Amino acid sequence: FLGVKDIHADHAASHIGKAQGIVTCLRATPYHSKRQKVFLPVDICMLHGVSQEDIIRGKQEKNVRDVIYDIASQAHIHLEHVR
């Protein structure tokens, strides 16, 4: 891309793309939940005892916030790799 052939640049771009994808998924959660769709990782939801119905209903309990925090933390880890 743009004539750049550097494995380090490719690696950084990969991590930035992953972080952006995670953030986009989180930001779209209210939109999708209004349409009865949930695209959050099931394993993380189960870890915190959160059901798809909890997300669809827009619950704000600590366990739902913990799911969001864990997912956002994954995006942060990708950004740390870039740095």
Q: Comparing 10 with 49, which gets the higher pLDDT?
A: 49
Interacting residues of 22 by C-beta distance below 8 A, sequence separation 6+: 71, 72, 74, 75, 78
User: pLDDT tens across 15-34, in order?
Assistant: 999 999 999 999 999 999 99
| The pLDDT of residue 15 | 93
> Taking the domains of the chain in order of start, what are their residue ranges?
7-81
* Alpha carbon distance 43, 54 (integer Å): 15
- Residue for token digits 């349409």? 35
| The pLDDT of residue 17 | 95
- Residue for token digits 């933390």? 73
pLDDT band for 7, please (50, 70, 90 cuts): confident
